[in-house]
Amino acid sequence: MGLVNRAFKSIWRRKWRTGVALIAIAIAMAIMIAIPAGLSSNQAAAVSARDSIQGSISSMNNEIQNMSLVVEASYGSEGRSPGNENFSRPSFTSYSESSVSTFTTEDVSNVSSLEGVVSVVGYVQKTEGMPNMTSFQPGSFTRGSGDFTRSEVNFSSVYEVWGIPTNTTIEGITPTIISGRGLNPDEEGSAVVSQTLASSWNLGVGDSKTIEGVSLTIVGISSSSGTAMSSRVVYLSLAQAQEMYSMEGKDTNLYVYTNSTSSADNVSTEMEAMFSSAQVTTSAERVAALSASQTAMSNSLSSTNATLALTQASANQETILALVATSGIILLIMVFSVRERTREIGVMKTLGFSNMKVVSQFLLEGLTVTFIGCIIGAIVGIVAYPAISKLLLPPTTSAAARGGVFAVQTAAATVSVSPEIGMVLIAFLAVLAMGALGSIYPAWKASRIKPVEALRNE
Amino acid sequence: MSDDVQDLAIKAVNVSKEYDLKTHKVLALRDATFEVKRGESIAIKGPSGSGKTTLLTMIGLLDSPTSGSITIDGVDMTQIRENKLHEVRQKKIGFVFQAFNLMPYLTAQENVELPMELGGLTRGQRKERATELLGIVGLAERVDHRPTKLSAGEQQRVAIARALANGPSILLADEPTGNLDSKSKKEIVKLFGRLRREQGMTVIIVTHDDKVANDIGKVIRMHDGRLLTSKDAEFLQDEEE
């Protein structure tokens, strides 16, 4: 009959109290495991959100650099330019085909002769698959707010057809091929389709698609980016598009490279005068549009960082609370237990047990209960940490979503981090230490009582 | 008083104990002086509140006297530090209570083994000795029973076996027959006599039962915290009559 055996028997005798202690300790342990794991998940989500936002800001900065020398003019699907494809689509009325004018070869020649113009690239941009517009009220796509106001009209069938010059690369326009190949100059009967559109059509490289009565073979798939609209594009060679829409030698959009920022401003002013019904997007406007979205993204970044800090603070508070509660509960249970067993302590001392031996007995009992509670809590914590952390920690993902970055919301929702063995061990030791502290004080106090006083206790 | 100190198991000189009850002080023991020889068997008798249990707890080192000295086997216990007294209690003294005070979650054998944990015996030796002691007190067949499954007399015999666990030279018992029926009382008193005769133990029993006191042997009477002389005792007895 040793100390450990006796401790087990004593614990087992007080089943109800042991049960309460085990539950309290297990809860504390589970919280201590779940909170850091949940925190890691939230951090991973927030970091992913932050990286995504920072990536966007960085790519915008590049665009701002490049764009300062570019002027774009367009008829029809206006607003489609490298800088603002996602952010300013003022009105769907511009999709009306009836009012579309074109840039002629002469227009290109005139623009080319403007001072400061380095080169002019024309291309064709058309919208296909438009639904019946009678019930549609013009709305806006504004990515910054995270709000789509599409009214009742279903735009899921809408896509764009771009006739592009294939002998030059225009940032934001020339497709990035992810399978198959790109288009050759003036290639006819072939098309590159963006990934999103290809998926929605359930078509791949080698398949055919008829547009405006022309059968086209898909030779390549390009990566999709940006909003739903701009990710649904069929790329044709410029010649093919011009032929398809019966606009040989004409373009709907002009992309004008200039030699300086001030030239870009002058050229855009002159072009506005030259093409009064076209939309001429100046670099200043696009930079402003980009800056506005950058600000929105920076706000989103701040929000993510703030949520991260809030989560960290909550986690710290809850972890400390769990530890304090554990030691408090163990302390209460031990104080109660020791008081109830004061007479037993008196008997032990009468039999010759030293104060140290008495303390050891109670400490061992406290630690045994704590140990078992820790094991139960560890199992619960490892299995149920997502639910526990969700319950206890503020959600990081919703804050990111408020910033309006949909990709981030998706990323955050799928990031999950399992509890690390190191964290489990730390939690185990911390709770065990609290158990020891909670046990040792009442036992030490009781061991100081004179045997005769302890024996008088009923 | 004996001059042969070597022959004395216990010597108490002017032992007093005063309890401070905040509102007033109670002198529970007044200048108790007496000697007990080795192997002697003594009953301390007196009415409730006469100080007999207080005297026993002083001898058993469960409490310290306010003044006076208690010498056990020639060593003045009042000079030993509080944190060393447990060794004397463990090695020299066996204590039996009226309420038995057995650990309810341990079997008879485990209860007897409990003090042996302090004596450096192996697990096997402890088990063997516990079985032997339970045999001595007539409970060889009840070793695996918990206290709740034993009669009051059997529980007290387990408590006596436990008191003998570390081979003490002094056995102290506070009203050991107080909770027992007359048959069990006789058996326990007989057991104390046998332990004194066969093991040469010094036995001191506190009781207010005349029959038990007379069967034990020498009787010390107490009244109002004082040990009574023969003359005092006769005077009080006449007064009672």
Determine which of A13, A351, A357 to mutate to test the interface with B (most B C-beta atoms within 10 Å).
A351
Is the CB of A342 inside 8 Å of chain B's CB atoms?
no
Q: Does the pLDDT value for residue A334 go beyond 80?
A: no
Pick from A102-106, A258-262, B122-126: least confident: A258-262
First to last CA, chain A: 26
- Helix boundaries (H) for chain B: 52-59, 85-92, 108-113, 123-136, 152-163, 182-199, 210-216, 230-240
For position A413, what pLDDT does the model report? 39
Q: How far is it, in rounded angstroms, from Cα B29 to Cα B56? A: 11
CA torsion B204-B207-B213-B218 (nearest 10°) is 40
Q: Does the pLDDT value for residue A409 go beyond 80?
A: no
C-beta atoms of B89 and A10 within 8 A: no
Determine which of B63, B70, B105, B121 to mutate to test the interface with A (most A C-beta atoms within 10 Å).
B105
Q: And the tokens for A113?
A: 């002769």
For position A81, what pLDDT does the model report? 41
More confident residue, A143 or B61: B61
For position A251, what pLDDT does the model report? 87
pLDDT 10s digits, A36-46: 777 777 777 77
Q: How confident is residue A229, by pLDDT bands cut at 50, 70 and 90?
A: very low
> B148, B104 in Cβ contact below 8 A?
yes
Burial class of residue B208 (count of CB atoms within 10 Å of its CB; 0-12, 13-18, 19+) = middle
| CB-closest option in A350, A352, A453 to B118 | A352
Q: And the tokens for A40?
A: 């890691």
pLDDT 10s digits, A300-321: 777 777 777 777 777 777 777 7
Q: CA nearest B89: which of A357, A153, A215?
A: A357
pLDDT 10s digits, B73-113: 989 999 998 778 899 999 999 999 888 899 998 999 999 99
Q: How far is it, in rounded angstroms, from Cα A234 to Cα A159? A: 7
Q: Is the ipTM of this complex over 0.95?
A: no
For position A92, what pLDDT does the model report? 30
Q: Does the pLDDT value for residue B159 go beyond 90?
A: yes
For position A96, what pLDDT does the model report? 32
A145: left (phi > 0), else alpha (psi -120 to 50), else beta? alpha
For position A282, what pLDDT does the model report? 65
- CA gyration radius, chain A: 36
C-beta atoms of B86 and A452 within 8 A: no
For position A64, what pLDDT does the model report? 65
Q: Does the pLDDT value for residue A173 go beyond 90?
A: no
Q: How far is CA B237 from CA B32, B43, B220, B221, B241, in A?
A: 20, 17, 14, 11, 6
Q: How confident is residue A419, by pLDDT bands cut at 50, 70 and 90?
A: low
DSSP summary character for residue A58: H
Pick from A97-101, B11-15, B161-165: least confident: A97-101
| CB-closest option in B62, B106, B123 to A350 | B62
Q: Does the pLDDT value for residue B234 go beyond 70?
A: no
More confident residue, A16 or B202: B202
C-beta atoms of A9 and B63 within 8 A: no
Q: Where are the beta strands (DSSP E) in A165-263?
A: 177-180, 190-194, 208-211, 214-222, 233-237, 253-258
CB atoms within 10 A of CB B79: 8
Q: How far is CA B145 from CA B115, B150, B180, B205, in A?
A: 18, 7, 19, 27
Q: How far is it, in rounded angstroms, from Cα B221 to Cα B232? A: 9
Question: Amino acid identity, residue B156?
Answer: Q
Q: How many CA atoms lie within 13 A of B233 on its CB side?
A: 12
Q: How far is it, in rounded angstroms, from Cα A15 to Cα A18? A: 5
Q: Does the pLDDT value for residue A223 go beyond 90?
A: no
Smallest CA–CA distance from A343 into chain B, residue: B101
Return mean pLDDT, chain A: 75
- For chain B, counts of helices (H) and of strands (E): 8, 10
What is the share, in percent, of chain A residues with pLDDT greater than 70?
76
- Contact list in B for residue A350 (CB cut-off 8 A) is 60, 62, 89, 95, 101
> B133, B119 in Cβ contact below 8 A?
no
Q: And the tokens for A413?
A: 């929702």
Q: How far is it, in rounded angstroms, from Cα B10 to Cα B1? A: 12
> A290, A63 in Cβ contact below 8 A?
yes
Domain B5-240 CATH class label: alpha beta
Smallest CA–CA distance from B165 into chain A, residue: A351
Contacts of B220 (CB under 8 A, 6+ apart): B34, B42, B43, B44, B45, B227, B228
Q: And the tokens for B204?
A: 């001191």
> B57, B28 in Cβ contact below 8 A?
no
Determine which of A347, A361, A458 to mutate to test the interface with B (most B C-beta atoms within 10 Å).
A347
> B171: helix, coil or strand?
strand
DSSP summary character for residue A103: B
Pairing state between β A214-222 and A190-194: parallel
For position A165, what pLDDT does the model report? 86
Q: How far is it, in rounded angstroms, from Cα A343 to Cα A161? A: 92
pLDDT 10s digits, A145-169: 444 444 445 567 788 898 988 877 7
For position A130, what pLDDT does the model report? 74
The alpha-carbon gap from A343 to the nearest alpha carbon of chain B, in Å, equals 8
Q: How far is it, in rounded angstroms, from Cα B131 to Cα A1? A: 13
Is the CB of A456 inside 8 Å of chain B's CB atoms?
no
Q: Does the pLDDT value for residue A387 go beyond 90?
A: no
| CB-closest option in B86, B104, B113 to A352 | B86
DSSP summary character for residue A80: -
Contacts of B175 (CB under 8 A, 6+ apart): B53, B97, B98, B206, B207, B208
For position B215, what pLDDT does the model report? 84
pLDDT 10s digits, A66-78: 666 677 777 754 4
For chain B, give every domain's residue range: 5-240
> B143, B107 in Cβ contact below 8 A?
yes
> A178: helix, coil or strand?
strand
Q: CA nearest B14: which of B27, B28, B30?
A: B30
For position A395, what pLDDT does the model report? 59
Q: Does the pLDDT value for residue B27 go beyond 80?
A: yes
First to last CA, chain B: 31
**Phi and psi torsions of A144, nearest 5°:** -60, -35
Q: Does the pLDDT value for residue A143 go beyond 60?
A: no
- Contact list in B for residue A444 (CB cut-off 8 A) is none
For position A228, what pLDDT does the model report? 39
Q: CA nearest B35: which of B167, B202, B171, B174?
A: B202
Q: Does the pLDDT value for residue A437 go beyond 90?
A: no
Burial class of residue A214 (count of CB atoms within 10 Å of its CB; 0-12, 13-18, 19+) = middle
For position A418, what pLDDT does the model report? 64
Q: And the tokens for B120?
A: 């450096």
CB atoms within 10 A of CB A61: 12
> A211: helix, coil or strand?
strand
Pick from A368-372, A423-427, B29-33, B150-154: least confident: A423-427
> B225, B53 in Cβ contact below 8 A?
no
| CB-closest option in A346, A350, A352 to B166 | A352
- Contact list in A for residue B115 (CB cut-off 8 A) is 351-352
A395: left (phi > 0), else alpha (psi -120 to 50), else beta? beta
What is the share, in percent, of chain A residues with pLDDT greater than 90?
7
For position A88, what pLDDT does the model report? 35
pLDDT 10s digits, A74-109: 775 444 444 334 333 332 323 333 345 788 888 888
For position A154, what pLDDT does the model report? 58
DSSP summary character for residue B23: S
Q: CA nearest B175: which of B159, B162, B164?
A: B159
Degrees to nearest 5, angle at CA A67 with A61 and A72 = 145
Q: How many CA atoms lie within 13 A of A100 on its CB side?
A: 23
Q: Does the pLDDT value for residue A326 go beyond 80?
A: no
Is the CB of A339 inside 8 Å of chain B's CB atoms?
no
pLDDT 10s digits, A22-36: 888 888 888 878 877
> B115, B99 in Cβ contact below 8 A?
no
C-beta atoms of B62 and A10 within 8 A: no
Pairing state between β B75-76 and B67-72: antiparallel
Average pLDDT over residues B211-229: 87
The alpha-carbon gap from A361 to the nearest alpha carbon of chain B, in Å, equals 12
Instruction: Name beta bridge partners: B20.
Output: B25
Is the CB of A142 inside 8 Å of chain B's CB atoms?
no
Q: How far is it, in rounded angstroms, from Cα A390 to Cα A329? A: 25
Q: How far is it, in rounded angstroms, from Cα B52 to Cα A136? A: 106
Question: Amino acid identity, residue A351?
Answer: L
Residues in chain B whose Cβ is within 8 Å of chain A: 57, 60, 62-64, 83, 86-87, 89-91, 95, 97, 101, 103-106, 109-110, 113-115, 117-118, 123, 126, 162, 165-166
